[in-house]
Amino acid sequence: MTPPIDEDPRTYPDHKALPDQPHWRQDFPTDVPEDDHVARREFVKFLVLTSGAFAAGQCWIALAGPGRDRGPFPRKPVATTAELEERRTVEFHYPDDHEPCLALRLGPGRYVAYGQKCSHLACAVVPHLDRGELHCPCHNGYFEAEGGRPVAGPPRRPLPLVHLEVTDGVVYAIGFEPRTV
């Protein structure tokens, strides 16, 4: 169907032409064709400002990234080895009191720990050590228990790694490493 012809004139209460109308009439036109019209200058302004914002955001990320979460980390007891051997999974908070982490027993004397927040959208991952994996129920993301690397679902980055140290039968968390690859 061809667009209808504009047979009805646009008039204004004071019967002056559009150039003599106050600016708000040109900024907020009543007619749909004028309202939908995007001038070249507006479009270029939009492009420059949004792409500038994106570029500035990338610079900000690049500058803020290296200084983040780089120790020194506290040395914090997680569990005793006996406890970890028995329960196989221990929840703790590291490096502060709010960041949830998981310590896992993969085999006799083999302990690993990861941040519990899924690298996709920060849901809490659930360990399934019998299958050797961690499952994020939000979007069905899977991580291998061995290295914390994503194996299925939306996550693309591994879970943050928590460095452990075993001294005198006590497992200590000594470092926190957010990983991108």
Residue 67 DSSP label: T
Q: Which stretch binds another protein (CB under 8 A): 27-35, 41-49, 96-104, 172-180?
A: 27-35
Residue 155 amino acid letter: P
Q: Which stretch binds another protein (CB under 8 A): 11-19, 111-119, 123-131, 136-144?
A: 11-19
Q: Is 30 in the site for another protein (CB under 8 A)?
A: yes
SS3 at position 70: coil
| Nearer CB in complex with another protein: 3/67 | 3
Residue holding tokens 């470092």? 175
Contact with another protein (CB under 8 A) among 17, 19, 23, 33:
33
Binding-site size for another protein (CB under 8 A) equals: 19
Do 160 and 178 meet the contact criterion of CB atoms below 8 Å apart?
yes
Residue holding tokens 């040109």? 26
Q: Is 17 in the site for another protein (CB under 8 A)?
A: no
Q: Is 108 in the site for another protein (CB under 8 A)?
A: no
| Short-list 140, 181, 132, CA closest to 159 | 181
Q: Is 9 in the site for another protein (CB under 8 A)?
A: yes
Q: How far apart are CA 58 and CA 117, in angstroms?
A: 24
* Binding residues for another protein (CB under 8 A): 1, 3-13, 15, 28, 30-33, 35
